[in-house]
Amino acid sequence: MLASPQQPPIMPHSTQHNLMSIHQNGASPNGLGVVDQHKHIWIITGPAGCGKSTVAQHLAQTLALPYIEGDEFHPPANIDKMAAGVPLTDADRWDWLILLRQEALARFSGCDTANGPPGVVLTCSALKKKYRDVIRVAAYHDSLVCVHFVYLRATEEVLMQRVKARQGHYMKDSMVKSQFASLEEPTRDEGDCLIVDVAGTMPEVQDLALTSVKEALKTHVAAENDR
Protein backbone atom coordinates (compact mmCIF):
# COMPACT_ATOMS: atom_id res chain seq x y z
CA MET A 1 0.00 0.00 0.00
CA LEU A 2 1.35 3.42 -0.87
CA ALA A 3 1.59 6.09 1.77
CA SER A 4 -0.40 9.26 1.30
CA PRO A 5 1.83 11.70 -0.64
CA GLN A 6 2.63 14.80 1.38
CA GLN A 7 2.90 17.90 -0.72
CA PRO A 8 3.27 21.53 0.23
CA PRO A 9 0.48 23.87 -0.88
CA ILE A 10 0.77 25.30 -4.35
CA MET A 11 -0.01 28.85 -5.37
CA PRO A 12 -2.06 29.44 -8.51
CA HIS A 13 0.26 29.50 -11.44
CA SER A 14 -1.52 32.31 -13.20
CA THR A 15 0.64 34.89 -11.43
CA GLN A 16 3.99 33.23 -11.81
CA HIS A 17 5.13 33.37 -15.41
CA ASN A 18 5.97 35.72 -18.23
CA LEU A 19 3.61 35.94 -21.15
CA MET A 20 5.30 35.96 -24.52
CA SER A 21 2.72 37.51 -26.78
CA ILE A 22 -0.92 37.95 -27.69
CA HIS A 23 -1.75 37.29 -31.31
CA GLN A 24 -2.94 40.39 -33.05
CA ASN A 25 -4.95 38.58 -35.71
CA GLY A 26 -6.79 36.26 -33.37
CA ALA A 27 -5.31 33.15 -34.95
CA SER A 28 -3.66 30.98 -32.37
CA PRO A 29 -2.89 27.34 -31.79
CA ASN A 30 -5.31 27.02 -28.90
CA GLY A 31 -8.26 28.70 -30.59
CA LEU A 32 -8.58 31.33 -27.89
CA GLY A 33 -6.91 34.19 -29.71
CA VAL A 34 -4.21 34.03 -27.08
CA VAL A 35 -0.70 32.68 -27.23
CA ASP A 36 1.56 32.28 -24.26
CA GLN A 37 4.53 30.13 -23.50
CA HIS A 38 2.75 28.09 -20.87
CA LYS A 39 1.42 24.57 -21.00
CA HIS A 40 -2.03 24.35 -19.45
CA ILE A 41 -3.46 21.18 -17.93
CA TRP A 42 -7.25 21.46 -17.69
CA ILE A 43 -8.55 18.75 -15.34
CA ILE A 44 -12.29 18.19 -15.55
CA THR A 45 -13.40 16.91 -12.15
CA GLY A 46 -16.39 15.80 -10.12
CA PRO A 47 -18.26 12.68 -9.02
CA ALA A 48 -19.45 9.90 -11.31
CA GLY A 49 -21.95 11.08 -13.88
CA CYS A 50 -21.35 14.83 -13.50
CA GLY A 51 -20.44 15.07 -17.19
CA LYS A 52 -16.62 14.98 -17.14
CA SER A 53 -16.29 13.05 -20.40
CA THR A 54 -19.02 15.02 -22.14
CA VAL A 55 -17.51 18.37 -21.17
CA ALA A 56 -13.88 17.35 -21.70
CA GLN A 57 -14.56 16.09 -25.22
CA HIS A 58 -16.26 19.37 -26.07
CA LEU A 59 -13.40 21.46 -24.69
CA ALA A 60 -10.74 19.36 -26.37
CA GLN A 61 -12.52 19.46 -29.71
CA THR A 62 -13.33 23.17 -29.61
CA LEU A 63 -9.88 24.21 -28.41
CA ALA A 64 -8.05 21.62 -30.53
CA LEU A 65 -6.27 20.15 -27.51
CA PRO A 66 -5.38 16.52 -26.75
CA TYR A 67 -7.87 14.72 -24.53
CA ILE A 68 -7.04 12.12 -21.89
CA GLU A 69 -9.91 10.01 -20.52
CA GLY A 70 -8.77 9.36 -16.96
CA ASP A 71 -11.01 6.34 -16.42
CA GLU A 72 -9.04 4.47 -19.10
CA PHE A 73 -6.01 4.52 -16.77
CA HIS A 74 -7.61 2.80 -13.80
CA PRO A 75 -6.02 -0.62 -13.22
CA PRO A 76 -8.39 -3.54 -13.87
CA ALA A 77 -8.62 -4.14 -10.11
CA ASN A 78 -10.11 -0.68 -9.62
CA ILE A 79 -12.65 -1.17 -12.40
CA ASP A 80 -13.62 -4.58 -10.99
CA LYS A 81 -14.08 -3.04 -7.57
CA MET A 82 -16.28 -0.21 -8.82
CA ALA A 83 -18.27 -2.59 -11.04
CA ALA A 84 -18.90 -4.73 -7.96
CA GLY A 85 -20.26 -1.67 -6.16
CA VAL A 86 -17.28 -1.21 -3.84
CA PRO A 87 -15.97 2.37 -3.53
CA LEU A 88 -12.26 2.95 -4.14
CA THR A 89 -10.05 3.86 -1.21
CA ASP A 90 -7.24 6.43 -1.10
CA ALA A 91 -4.76 3.57 -1.52
CA ASP A 92 -6.57 2.44 -4.69
CA ARG A 93 -6.28 5.92 -6.16
CA TRP A 94 -2.70 7.11 -5.51
CA ASP A 95 -0.96 5.25 -8.34
CA TRP A 96 -3.78 6.12 -10.75
CA LEU A 97 -3.49 9.83 -9.93
CA ILE A 98 0.29 9.77 -10.42
CA LEU A 99 -0.19 7.98 -13.73
CA LEU A 100 -2.63 10.66 -14.90
CA ARG A 101 -0.20 13.41 -13.94
CA GLN A 102 2.58 11.66 -15.88
CA GLU A 103 0.30 11.09 -18.85
CA ALA A 104 -0.62 14.79 -19.00
CA LEU A 105 3.02 15.86 -18.79
CA ALA A 106 3.99 13.30 -21.43
CA ARG A 107 1.90 15.23 -23.96
CA PHE A 108 4.26 18.18 -23.44
CA SER A 109 7.56 16.39 -23.02
CA GLY A 110 10.23 17.27 -25.51
CA CYS A 111 8.25 20.13 -26.98
CA ASP A 112 7.91 23.81 -26.24
CA THR A 113 4.59 25.50 -26.93
CA ALA A 114 5.78 26.53 -30.38
CA ASN A 115 5.90 22.87 -31.36
CA GLY A 116 3.65 21.05 -28.94
CA PRO A 117 0.09 21.51 -27.75
CA PRO A 118 -0.54 24.60 -25.59
CA GLY A 119 -2.67 22.50 -23.30
CA VAL A 120 -4.24 19.17 -22.57
CA VAL A 121 -7.71 18.24 -21.28
CA LEU A 122 -7.86 15.45 -18.70
CA THR A 123 -10.83 13.86 -16.94
CA CYS A 124 -10.27 12.80 -13.36
CA SER A 125 -12.78 12.62 -10.52
CA ALA A 126 -10.20 14.25 -8.16
CA LEU A 127 -12.78 14.09 -5.40
CA LYS A 128 -10.52 15.18 -2.52
CA LYS A 129 -8.11 18.06 -2.08
CA LYS A 130 -5.21 15.69 -1.52
CA TYR A 131 -5.96 14.07 -4.88
CA ARG A 132 -5.87 17.46 -6.57
CA ASP A 133 -2.57 18.11 -4.80
CA VAL A 134 -1.11 15.01 -6.47
CA ILE A 135 -1.95 16.49 -9.89
CA ARG A 136 -0.63 19.91 -8.85
CA VAL A 137 2.82 18.39 -8.53
CA ALA A 138 2.90 18.56 -12.35
CA ALA A 139 3.87 22.22 -12.03
CA TYR A 140 6.71 21.63 -9.56
CA HIS A 141 9.42 20.71 -12.00
CA ASP A 142 8.41 22.76 -15.01
CA SER A 143 7.70 26.43 -14.42
CA LEU A 144 5.79 26.60 -17.70
CA VAL A 145 3.14 24.10 -16.63
CA CYS A 146 -0.11 25.57 -15.26
CA VAL A 147 -2.68 23.33 -13.60
CA HIS A 148 -6.38 24.27 -13.62
CA PHE A 149 -9.31 22.28 -12.25
CA VAL A 150 -12.79 22.59 -13.72
CA TYR A 151 -15.17 21.22 -11.08
CA LEU A 152 -18.56 20.18 -12.43
CA ARG A 153 -20.99 20.81 -9.59
CA ALA A 154 -24.27 18.91 -9.34
CA THR A 155 -26.60 17.62 -6.66
CA GLU A 156 -26.59 13.98 -5.67
CA GLU A 157 -30.17 13.68 -6.93
CA VAL A 158 -29.29 14.91 -10.42
CA LEU A 159 -26.32 12.57 -10.68
CA MET A 160 -28.37 9.62 -9.46
CA GLN A 161 -30.81 10.25 -12.30
CA ARG A 162 -28.10 10.67 -14.93
CA VAL A 163 -26.11 7.61 -13.88
CA LYS A 164 -29.27 5.53 -13.67
CA ALA A 165 -30.21 6.54 -17.22
CA ARG A 166 -26.75 5.75 -18.59
CA GLN A 167 -26.47 2.37 -20.32
CA GLY A 168 -23.52 -0.03 -20.45
CA HIS A 169 -21.24 1.62 -17.89
CA TYR A 170 -19.60 -0.22 -15.00
CA MET A 171 -20.40 2.59 -12.56
CA LYS A 172 -23.95 2.13 -11.33
CA ASP A 173 -26.15 4.64 -9.56
CA SER A 174 -25.65 2.80 -6.26
CA MET A 175 -22.10 4.23 -6.26
CA VAL A 176 -23.17 7.88 -6.47
CA LYS A 177 -23.77 8.11 -2.71
CA SER A 178 -20.23 6.99 -1.90
CA GLN A 179 -18.82 9.45 -4.45
CA PHE A 180 -20.54 12.29 -2.56
CA ALA A 181 -19.35 10.87 0.76
CA SER A 182 -15.74 11.19 -0.45
CA LEU A 183 -16.23 14.53 -2.19
CA GLU A 184 -14.38 17.59 -0.89
CA GLU A 185 -15.61 20.42 -3.09
CA PRO A 186 -12.84 22.82 -4.11
CA THR A 187 -12.74 25.98 -2.03
CA ARG A 188 -11.57 29.45 -2.96
CA ASP A 189 -8.38 28.82 -1.00
CA GLU A 190 -7.27 26.31 -3.59
CA GLY A 191 -7.03 29.18 -6.08
CA ASP A 192 -6.84 27.16 -9.29
CA CYS A 193 -10.36 25.72 -9.48
CA LEU A 194 -13.20 26.84 -11.73
CA ILE A 195 -16.70 25.80 -10.72
CA VAL A 196 -19.31 25.02 -13.36
CA ASP A 197 -22.92 24.31 -12.45
CA VAL A 198 -24.09 21.33 -14.48
CA ALA A 199 -27.84 21.47 -13.76
CA GLY A 200 -28.58 22.71 -17.29
CA THR A 201 -28.82 20.86 -20.57
CA MET A 202 -25.72 19.34 -22.08
CA PRO A 203 -25.15 22.16 -24.63
CA GLU A 204 -25.67 24.74 -21.88
CA VAL A 205 -23.14 23.04 -19.63
CA GLN A 206 -20.63 22.66 -22.46
CA ASP A 207 -20.94 26.38 -23.24
CA LEU A 208 -20.56 27.34 -19.58
CA ALA A 209 -17.43 25.23 -19.21
CA LEU A 210 -15.91 26.63 -22.39
CA THR A 211 -16.63 30.20 -21.30
CA SER A 212 -15.07 29.52 -17.88
CA VAL A 213 -11.91 28.12 -19.44
CA LYS A 214 -11.60 31.04 -21.84
CA GLU A 215 -12.09 33.52 -18.99
CA ALA A 216 -9.45 31.76 -16.90
CA LEU A 217 -6.99 31.92 -19.76
CA LYS A 218 -7.71 35.63 -20.26
CA THR A 219 -7.13 36.21 -16.55
CA HIS A 220 -3.88 34.29 -16.78
CA VAL A 221 -2.76 36.41 -19.73
CA ALA A 222 -3.74 39.67 -18.02
CA ALA A 223 -1.87 38.68 -14.85
CA GLU A 224 1.22 37.87 -16.87
CA ASN A 225 1.01 41.19 -18.67
CA ASP A 226 0.87 43.00 -15.34
CA ARG A 227 4.07 41.41 -14.14
Ligand X SMILES: O=C(O)[C@H](O)[C@@H](O)[C@H](O)[C@H](O)CO
**Site residues for ligand ATP per CB under 6 A:** 48-54, 71, 123, 162, 166, 171, 198, 200-202, 205
Quickly list H helices, the chain: 52-63, 76-83, 90-106, 129-136, 156-165, 176-182, 202-226
Residue 195: helix, strand or coil by DSSP? strand
Q: How many residues bind ligand X (CB under 6 A)?
A: 9
Q: How many residues would you count in the chain?
A: 227
Please provide the distance, in angstroms rounded to a whole number, between the alpha carbons at the two ends of the chain.
44
Compute the least distance from the CB of residue 158 to ligand ATP, in Å: 8
Spell out, one character per residue from 63 to 102, where the chain touches ligand X: x when CB under 6 A holds, - when not.
--------x--x-------------x----x---------
Compute the least distance from the CB of residue 146 to ligand ATP, in Å: 23
Residue 68: helix, strand or coil by DSSP? strand
Q: Which listed option, ligand X, ligand ATP, none, makes contact with residue 88 (CB within 5 to 8 Å by class)?
A: ligand X
Q: What is the pairing mode between strands 67-68 and 119-123?
A: parallel
Q: Which residue type is seen at 163?
A: V
CA–CA separation, 30 and 28 (whole Å) = 6
CA-based nearest residue to 96, from 62, 59, 69, 63? 69
Q: Which listed option, ligand ATP, ligand X, none, makes contact with residue 166 (CB within 5 to 8 Å by class)?
A: ligand ATP
Query: CB-wise, 16 or 161, nearer to ligand ATP?
Result: 161
Q: What is the pairing mode between strands 145-153 and 39-45?
A: parallel
CA–CA separation, 156 and 176 (whole Å) = 7
Q: Which listed option, ligand ATP, ligand X, none, makes contact with residue 127 (CB within 5 to 8 Å by class)?
A: ligand X
Compute the least distance from the CB of residue 221 to ligand X, in Å: 32
Question: Which of 32, 105, 171, 217 is in the footprint of ligand X by CB under 6 A?
Answer: 171
Query: CB-wise, 34 or 44, nearer to ligand X?
Result: 44
Compute the least distance from the CB of residue 177 to ligand ATP, in Å: 14
Residue ranges in contact with ligand X by CB under 6 A: 48, 71, 74, 88, 93, 125, 127, 171, 179
